[in-house]
Copies of this chain bind each other. A is one copy, B any other.
Amino acid sequence: MSTSKIIPLGELTSQVANGSSLALGGSFLHRGPFAFVRELIRQGKRDLEIIKQSPGYDIDILCRAGCVRRTRAGIVAMEGNFGLAPYYRKAVEKKEIELEEHACASLTAGLRASAFGVPFQPCGGLHGSALPELNGWQKVADPYGTGEAVYVIPRITPDFAVIHANEVSPEGDVRVFGTSHWDRIMSRSAKRVLVIAERIASSESFASQPELTLIPHFLVDAVAVVPRGAWPGSCWPHYEVDYPAVEAYLPDGADVLAAHLAAAPEAQEAAHA
C-alpha cells in the first residue's frame, strides 16, 4: 500500500533550495552522489554548504561551478594519483568559500549529536591539535571524577543527506554493498534524505534479507534511479573509477566543464527520462 518514492533526478534535485546544507555520501571517488552533484550545477544552485568527511570530486566540481558558500570537511582530495582537488584548493586560497576544517571523526560527532537528539557530542582525541581552538570547540571535564576532559562537538544537522545507493525498493528502502562510509549516520542526522540508486530491487528481495537494508523507507524522502550515477567514481560491484574521465575533467576551461557535464551518464540518458 506504500507509494513509490521514485522520481526523476531533476525533480529530486529541485527540492534543494539555494543556501541548503547537504551531507553527501560516499568517500573520495567512491559511491558518491555525483549525478546529483552535477544536476545541482545544471540547475544553477548557489550558496550551498557541503558537509562530508572526505569529499573530493564532488566538492571540487561544485567549487568550480561556483555553487558553494561553505564546507565542513575532514580531508579533501581527488585521490588516485590526482592529488589535491584543484578547484576546491583555489576556492579556499582565494577565500571564495568558507572552510570549517574537521577531523573526520569530529564531523561524525557533530552528526551523531543530531542523530541522538542531543546538543553536543564528546569526541575522543583532538588533544594538542590546533583544530579545537580554530573552531571554538569546548573541552568538558568529566563530571564523574575520572579526571578526564573531552572535547565536545556542536550538533550538525544537515538540511539534506544525499546518498548514492546500490539498490532501492520502490518504497524507498536503501541497500549499499561494501562499506557504507558515513552514509548511515548522515541518513540519521539530516532533516531529509534523498537517494540516488543504481537500480531498483523488488520489495520481496528487501524483505528476504531485511538486515541488509541501511536506510528504512520511512526515513527517505525521494529516490532517483540513475544507472552509473556515481561516475566518474566507482560503485562497487557495478563499476570501477573511470580514471581517464577524471583526468579529462581536470584541465581549466568552461568548455572542459561543459564537456564533462555533457558526457555524464545522466546527461546521456536524459533523452530517455
Interface residues of A (CB under 8 A from B): 113, 116-124, 138, 140, 142-144, 146, 148, 150, 152, 154-155, 176-178, 209, 211-212
Query: Complex formed: what's the CA distance from A127 to B144 in Å?
Result: 19
Query: Complex formed: what's the CA distance from A120 to B150 in Å?
Result: 9
Structural contact, B138 and A143, CB atoms closer than 8 A: yes
Structural contact, B119 and A146, CB atoms closer than 8 A: yes
Choose among B119, B142, B144, B212 the residue that contacts A144 (Cβ–Cβ < 8 A): B119
Query: Complex formed: what's the CA distance from A118 to B141 in Å?
Result: 11
Choose among B142, B154, B155, B212 the residue that contacts A120 (Cβ–Cβ < 8 A): B142
Residue of B nearest to A151 (CB): B118
- Known A177-B211, A211-B178, A211-B212; contact A142-B124, beta-carbon cutoff 8 A: no
- Known A178-B211, A211-B212, A212-B212; contact A119-B148, beta-carbon cutoff 8 A: yes
A154: chain B residues within 8 A (beta carbon): 142, 144
CB distance from A7 to the nearest CB of B (A): 27
Structural contact, A124 and B118, CB atoms closer than 8 A: yes
- Known A143-B152, A144-B138, A144-B154; contact A121-B122, beta-carbon cutoff 8 A: yes
Structural contact, A117 and B124, CB atoms closer than 8 A: yes
Choose among B113, B120, B123 the residue that contacts A143 (Cβ–Cβ < 8 A): B120
Query: What are some 18 contacts across the A-B interface (CB < 8 A)?
Result: A113-B122, A116-B124, A117-B124, A118-B122, A118-B124, A118-B150, A119-B144, A119-B148, A120-B122, A120-B142, A120-B143, A122-B122, A138-B144, A142-B154, A143-B152, A146-B155, A178-B211, A212-B212
Most buried by B among A117, A118, A152, A209: A118
